[in-house]
Structure 1
């Protein structure tokens, strides 16, 4: 069995956002020291309930501060991001962490962030499947084209490829290093 913890950068009354974020970092370091397998980070916008607007950015910091524990997003709100940009970030974190990053996505809620980031209610209600398909294609295929209603673009090379980590490990062979 694997055991993980949810780390919410919650800002309590009388605290600033810096203190909330530092507590999230310390909680992750403590989780690794305690032997937990993973931490999961939330993305929130415009509310003190959670002062982390980018779970992937915080994940990058935490992956750099830890050596063993897996770090994942719970969730990155897909309608607030371009799916290719989010998939590129996920591939980068996966490769640079030795495979310790997990991308969790969700559609969020019909809140003000969907208005602010331009996705709107349509992205929440109808756009999630197309965006998710594009993220999955980006993480699995060598070339991807956007052929949907919201995301249309010519075929491009996927760089960096998330599966390059596995290729690099296989090429290294026994005793490499």
Structure 2
């Protein structure tokens, strides 16, 4: 019988215009503690470097703090960008976390080099790194197939691949669960192919969700993220989240270009926002279309109290959904 999808929160350690980088990192740990109390299944952290608005730069280090501050949550990375790191070092870090928190650790990895050229040089990333080779190497280390014995020796934790269309083919070939988002929420053909090539493969949907008293309030809370992302895409400046008022003023004045306004509207259209009833209906439609097993929600409202209320509403309505229907197959 189909069950409700698992619910995880992806926290990117976003900075706010009124706070410091340290505030953002500490807020990530507090959020993990709150959502564990709500009964949320998992909590994931991301990797970004040299970005004023996103200060989660060391996911395995931050994950250690999150895991130590909680007792039950599954904790994971979403994700470690493998082309920029030595797979053996990543495997050692993950194995250490798994030894400290058995059965709770998952690792999400990406195949894209990402970041800017100066950041890649600072990381010591090779000029050309084959992402699939590095992924296969990481799996070998974690599964005890490397030329050196990985320590600590622990059961290999689950490895998720953050995937686009081509990444889904890699995930299917290697028998890995996959996290998808963006256009794959609209075009499910790559998901159908993944299901055919990897029957039983787990799929997590990366999606922004805001649940509020009314649709207008939900849109208002989404605006800071939409404006920050639009500016980042056009100006290469991913700054701290503006307040909802600042974001609304930017949209309603000459503060954004035409392209940026279009990006804001596209972001708002892709997100799921509204009253509990509206959000429940939209999420069920997405689950029916994709057959996903897990929701990975990445929303970060500007106000931490609003964020806490949003997480609580989301945790209350997800058990009412039906997931894992495999209708994408």
Match of 2:143 among 135, 140, 155: 140
1:115 aligns with 2:118: no
Q: Quick one: distance in 1 between partners of 2:102 and 2:34?
A: 21
1:72 aligns with 2:72: no
Bigger relative CO (Cα 8 Å, ≥ 6 apart): 2
Q: Give TM-score scaled by structure 1 length.
A: 0.79
Match of 1:159 among 143, 151, 157: 151
Aligned-pair distance for 1:96? 1.1
**SS of match in other structure, 2:91:** helix
Q: 1:140–1:162: 8 Å Cα contact kept in structure 2?
A: no
Aligned-pair distance for 1:160? 1.5
Q: 1:10–1:20: 8 Å Cα contact kept in structure 2?
A: yes
The CA RMSD measured in Å over matched residues stands at 1.8
Map 1:28-39 to 2 at 5 A. 28-39=32-43
Map 1:93-132 to 2 at 5 A. 93-106=97-110, 107-112=112-117, 113-123=119-129, 127-132=130-135
**SS of match in other structure, 2:54:** coil
Aligned-pair distance for 1:110? 4.9
Moved more, 95-104 or 156-165: 156-165
Q: 2:81–2:113: 8 Å Cα contact kept in structure 1?
A: yes
Q: Which runs of 5+ in 2 are unaligned?
A: 158-329
* CA offsets 1:7-52 (integer angstroms, 9 cap, x no match): 1101122321110011111111111011000011011100022101
Q: Quick one: distance in 1 between partners of 2:37 and 2:75?
A: 14
User: Which structure has the larger Rg over C-alpha atoms?
Assistant: 2
Q: Do the aligned partners of residues 162 and 108 (structure 1) sit closer, same or farther apart at CA in structure 2, a change above 3 Å counting?
A: farther
**SS of match in other structure, 1:45:** coil
Moved more, 155-164 or 60-69: 155-164
Q: Quick one: distance in 1 between partners of 2:88 and 2:64?
A: 18
Aligned length in residues: 151
Aligned-pair distance for 1:119? 1.7
**SS of match in other structure, 2:55:** coil
Q: Which residue of 2 aligns with 1:82?
A: 86
Match of 1:48 among 47, 52, 75: 52
